[in-house]
Structure 1
Amino acid sequence: MSETAQLDVALSSQPALPVRDDEGHINPDFLRVVEAAIASKDSFQLRKLAGSLHEADAGDLIESLSEGDRSAFVRLLGDEFDYTALTETDDAIRLKLLDELPNEDIAEGLGDLDSDDAVYILEDLDKADQAEILGELPYADRAQLQKALDYPEDSAGRRMQTEFIAVAPFWTVGQTIDYMREARDLPDSFYEIYVVDPAFHLLGAVALDKVLRTTRDEQVTSIMTETRHAVLATEDQEEVARRFERYNLVSSAVVDENDRLVGILTVDDIVDVIQEEAEEDLLALAGVGDEEISDNVITIARSRLTWLVVNLATAVLASVVIALFEDTIEAMVALAVLMPIVASMGGNAGTQTMTVAVRGIATQELGTRNMLRILRREVLVGVLNGTALAVLIGLTAWLWFQSAGLGIVIGGAIIINMLFAGLSGLLIPIALDRVDVDPAIASSVFVTTVTDVVGFFAFLGIAALWFGLPF
């Protein structure tokens, strides 16, 4: 009996295999059965296995399949494949898969999606493929998607959903309820009903719970609240996410520059934005750009090389400082042994302060109003931690090299470097932000340079003066 036949028998004689294992990963047994169905081109079996998967599970399943099986998986599922699953995959995998599928199939799949998901899939394709796919769609859908794609990248207009419910101000609650019951093109889920004038200017919003609690003959304007948190379509998605967080919003209207309602944003979209922005800042702090797990060796190497070259240049600067004290180090070899300790402690302290500062800038908690207070705090923290470490490292150096003077020298250098680490970790991100340079990307290189240079210069300089060594 072939492996595929054995798997079919096993599948029919046992309860359905769980999609995920106990750790939340795709179940290896389930994956093996899916791979066997793909290998045998068994569309019926594959539809039974994966046709009704949640898009998050389907997205992870696609990532778990080998590169050669992904497009076959989509083709075999046919019209049962939910293209929303592609919003749950890495960018590199999604683009490679879309490149292998016919544009007419992609257009058919996108036609069933909410507009925000369709835009998310389309926006990374090249212009020619975008135009061909949009050309396959009905005019109304094509116009909506094209309008969203015309908004700036990472803007609310790119994230918004153009399916929403808008009613006239003279409608009653009863008319609104009847409309929602009878209309066939309502969004899959919604939380508010928007009230607009004939020119589609946004007047206000009505929460669904108010609709359900109000008598049918009441006008919607009597239970309408003014939309105080409407989002401009060109507004940056990170600013919008902060507004959702600040006011605990579940959804928000999106308007154009003329205050006309063009879409809505819901909290599930904002959760994705928060996650993306957090990942972006985390990767930027390490100098790895927008690297994905699925990227190939050349892409990853190219992404990391730029900042490694910058780090090389700053390392050379630190080496120049060391070279200035070449005779000092030659006269007392113990200095060479202890130098890395001073630089390392300063670098770690600077990174701690820098991380807090970058986060404060990103969340708008750190600004002109409280900068001096935070600066004083970091100075005190640097002095206190520096003093504690100076005592600890000074005693260690004294016992190690039997030299009290050496312990005093390294202790003084530690205090100075910890102080500068706190100052640079705070001031460098603020300065970069003021000149419109992303502090998450550039801060670490400059902070490390400052702590290395100051640490080496302070340690070797104090040693030369204390012991009367040659410069």
Structure 2
Amino acid sequence: MSESDRPLDEDGFLLAHEPAEEGRPDDRIDDERMDEENTFKPEFVRAVEDALEEGDTKAVYELVEPLHPADIADLLELLERQERYQLAAAITDLMTSEVVAELNDYVREDMMEALPPEAVAQIVDQLETDDAVQLIEDLDEADQRAILAEVELEDRIAIQSALSYPEETAGRLMSREFVAVPEHLTVGDLIDYLRDGRDLPDEFFEVFVVDEKHHPVGTCALSWVLRAPRNVALADVMKRDQTLIPVMLDQEEVGLMFQKYNLISAAVVDENDRLVGQMTVDDVVHIISEEAGEDALLMSGAGDGDINEPIREAYSARVRWLIANLGTALVASLIIAMFGAAIEQLVALAVLMPIVASIGGNAGTQTMAVTVRAIATNQLTRSNTRRILLREMRVAVLNGMTIAVLIGLATGVIFSPMLGGVIALAMVINVVIAGLAGVLVPVIFDRLDQDPAVASSVFVTMITDSMGFFAFLGLAVASGIVGS
């Protein structure tokens, strides 16, 4: 195709290749670079690595240029640290704010530290306030000051204001780009203001209506504005009932509010109920995903669990919970030691003990996962804790009796009917205790204002192992199968 035949973009520039259909990637690019799961093919990544190793920046650019910004971010994350720097240098004009905003937190922080302050400031100037804050909030204070010194005054003030709020609060995460108008306007006035286009965000879903003290009194969806007659007052078409988000509200609570009330955007207000920002659904999707992953990792004591996390930080986060687990495991070992003589008399006890511990641990983990999720989504509160506890106890009894019948029959056939009865009863006891621990441990954490997901599994495992061994071995001695 000659240059005269190639399509132009909206600004009149030649496109590098024919555009794909709206909303879908170019099939040709997909075939060469992406597999059916929309991840990079190993051959493509190797081609980029080889070009970087050979110093062929032209080949690198040609390989990367057709990619979407989010895909460029993914590619950077797949490379080694030094290769990332080389790739960024080879595709300087492609390293847009969209690419940087999509990067993994650790990768982004590492790359920002490698760039001079003026280069980072140029990226910050292109971002909305919430994305700009996310970009620099984890950098050293000295680096933050150096970068902010290069940023335009208006953006600098907005970013510094956001950084003054605690992490993971609405004030830190909110966007300060929004549309607010006085309530005395008509629909026609609003349309003229929007068409004028000065100082408006690039994208917005609704217009906030405020009083003379800048308190939000209503909202107007753009779809309403377009369909209403010009002479109608905003006060007559706006929605007065709205969900306001306090500036200090935790991000997890923000996510729950968006989910509960099916919000697309919501106003953020300060302690004086003045409009200071907005939260939008794209921010909340990220929050929900982050919180879900965080809870799952905290339950296992795996820290941030990010494959890009520095080895020293990953080690520090995980080893302390393994040490705690070692201490709790000693409790179970001491109980086993109490019945050492009984185990020596009947080897079958040693054979069956791991089964009791394993089933109890799994039962406790199941209940704990349900409980942590219920607490996180406000399904479990102080008002219904007793009901949830009784429900889980009933589930535990049914589970325990089912497993008890199966293991009791098998043990009775292989070893002896008496031992089958002992392990069956021990299994019921342990599964019920596991259900109790799976609810109470996270609830106690929550009542103490601690994250209920933080390594609850360590304590639940200790309880199920210890009580399982105690019940099984204690019943074996009490039944007379072995001596004490």
Name the counterpart of 1:410.
423
Equivalent residues in 2 for 1:458-469, closer than 5 Å: 458-467=471-480, 469=482
8 Å contact 1:173–1:215 — kept in the other structure? yes
Contiguous gaps of at least 5 residues in structure 2: 1-15, 18-26
Among 302, 307, 327, the residue aligned to 1:288:
302
Among 378, 382, 392, the residue aligned to 1:364:
378
Among 156, 168, 178, the residue aligned to 1:142:
156
Equivalent residues in 2 for 1:47-446, closer than 5 Å: 49-51=63-65, 53-401=67-415, 403-446=416-459
RMSD (Å) for aligned C-alpha atoms: 2.1
Q: Following the alignment from structure 2 to structure 1, what is the Cα–Cα distance between the partners of residues 417 and 62?
A: 77
8 Å contact 1:71–1:101 — kept in the other structure? no
Aligned partner of residue 439 in structure 1, secondary structure? coil
Q: Which moved more, 1:42-51 or 1:160-169?
A: 42-51
Shift of 1:136: 0.7
Q: Following the alignment from structure 2 to structure 1, what is the Cα–Cα distance between the partners of residues 254 and 196?
A: 33
Q: Following the alignment from structure 2 to structure 1, what is the Cα–Cα distance between the partners of residues 86 and 210?
A: 46
Shift of 1:64: 2.0
Q: Following the alignment from structure 1 to structure 2, what is the Cα–Cα distance between the partners of residues 210 and 331?
A: 82
Q: Following the alignment from structure 1 to structure 2, what is the Cα–Cα distance between the partners of residues 186 and 34?
A: 40
Q: Which moved more, 1:154-163 or 1:267-276?
A: 154-163
Q: Note the alpha carbon deviations across 1:281-339, whole angstroms, 9 max, x for none.
A: 01011110112112343332222101101110011000011111111111212111111
Q: Following the alignment from structure 2 to structure 1, what is the Cα–Cα distance between the partners of residues 168 and 54?
A: 42
Going from structure 1 to structure 2, the CA distance change for 1:177 and 1:47 (only over 3 Å counts) comes to farther
Q: Following the alignment from structure 1 to structure 2, what is the Cα–Cα distance between the partners of residues 242 and 171?
A: 33
Q: Following the alignment from structure 1 to structure 2, what is the Cα–Cα distance between the partners of residues 40 and 343?
A: 56
8 Å contact 1:84–1:117 — kept in the other structure? no
8 Å contact 1:291–1:303 — kept in the other structure? no
8 Å contact 1:47–1:77 — kept in the other structure? yes
Going from structure 1 to structure 2, the CA distance change for 1:311 and 1:32 (only over 3 Å counts) comes to closer
Aligned partner of residue 454 in structure 2, secondary structure? helix
Aligned partner of residue 411 in structure 2, secondary structure? helix
Going from structure 1 to structure 2, the CA distance change for 1:51 and 1:130 (only over 3 Å counts) comes to farther
Q: Does 1:453 align with 2:466?
A: yes
Q: Following the alignment from structure 1 to structure 2, what is the Cα–Cα distance between the partners of residues 112 and 227?
A: 34
Q: Following the alignment from structure 1 to structure 2, what is the Cα–Cα distance between the partners of residues 107 and 231?
A: 30
Q: Following the alignment from structure 1 to structure 2, what is the Cα–Cα distance between the partners of residues 289 and 190?
A: 36
Shift of 1:219: 2.4
Going from structure 1 to structure 2, the CA distance change for 1:184 and 1:428 (only over 3 Å counts) comes to same
Q: Which moved more, 1:259-268 or 1:50-59?
A: 50-59
Q: Following the alignment from structure 1 to structure 2, what is the Cα–Cα distance between the partners of residues 105 and 263?
A: 27
Aligned partner of residue 111 in structure 1, secondary structure? helix
Q: Which moved more, 1:408-417 or 1:76-85?
A: 76-85
Going from structure 1 to structure 2, the CA distance change for 1:54 and 1:456 (only over 3 Å counts) comes to same
Q: Note the alpha carbon deviations across 1:161-197, whole angstroms, 9 max, x for none.
A: 1111111222222222122222243222111011223
Name the counterpart of 1:21.
35
Shift of 1:38: 4.7
Q: Following the alignment from structure 2 to structure 1, what is the Cα–Cα distance between the partners of residues 69 and 275?
A: 29
Name the counterpart of 2:23.
none
Aligned partner of residue 286 in structure 2, secondary structure? helix
Going from structure 1 to structure 2, the CA distance change for 1:193 and 1:42 (only over 3 Å counts) comes to farther
Q: Which moved more, 1:362-371 or 1:39-48?
A: 39-48
Aligned partner of residue 289 in structure 1, secondary structure? coil
Shift of 1:413: 0.7
- Report the residue type matching 1:56 in the other structure: A
Shift of 1:424: 1.1
- Report the residue type matching 2:29 in the other structure: L
- Report the residue type matching 2:237 in the other structure: I
Q: Following the alignment from structure 1 to structure 2, what is the Cα–Cα distance between the partners of residues 188 and 225?
A: 23
Aligned partner of residue 91 in structure 2, secondary structure? helix
Going from structure 1 to structure 2, the CA distance change for 1:40 and 1:325 (only over 3 Å counts) comes to closer
Q: Following the alignment from structure 1 to structure 2, what is the Cα–Cα distance between the partners of residues 286 and 331?
A: 37
Q: Following the alignment from structure 2 to structure 1, what is the Cα–Cα distance between the partners of residues 215 and 337?
A: 69
Q: Following the alignment from structure 1 to structure 2, what is the Cα–Cα distance between the partners of residues 280 and 78?
A: 33
Q: Following the alignment from structure 1 to structure 2, what is the Cα–Cα distance between the partners of residues 28 and 451?
A: 44
Aligned partner of residue 217 in structure 2, secondary structure? strand
Shift of 1:52: 6.3
Contiguous gaps of at least 5 residues in structure 1: 1-10
8 Å contact 2:219–2:242 — kept in the other structure? no
Shift of 1:36: 5.7
Shift of 1:48: 5.4
TM-score between the two structures when normalised by the length of structure 1: 0.92
Shift of 1:456: 0.7
Going from structure 1 to structure 2, the CA distance change for 1:163 and 1:42 (only over 3 Å counts) comes to farther
- Report the residue type matching 1:455 in the other structure: G
8 Å contact 1:230–1:252 — kept in the other structure? yes
Shift of 1:63: 0.8
8 Å contact 1:397–1:406 — kept in the other structure? yes
Q: Following the alignment from structure 2 to structure 1, what is the Cα–Cα distance between the partners of residues 399 and 483?
A: 31
> Paired residues, what number?
458
Q: Following the alignment from structure 1 to structure 2, what is the Cα–Cα distance between the partners of residues 172 and 46?
A: 54
Name the % identity: 48
Q: Note the alpha carbon deviations across 1:127-149, whole angstroms, 9 max, x for none.
A: 11111111111111110111111
8 Å contact 1:170–1:219 — kept in the other structure? yes
Q: Which moved more, 1:63-72 or 1:129-138?
A: 63-72
Q: Following the alignment from structure 1 to structure 2, what is the Cα–Cα distance between the partners of residues 44 and 150?
A: 44
8 Å contact 2:360–2:465 — kept in the other structure? yes
Name the counterpart of 1:7.
none
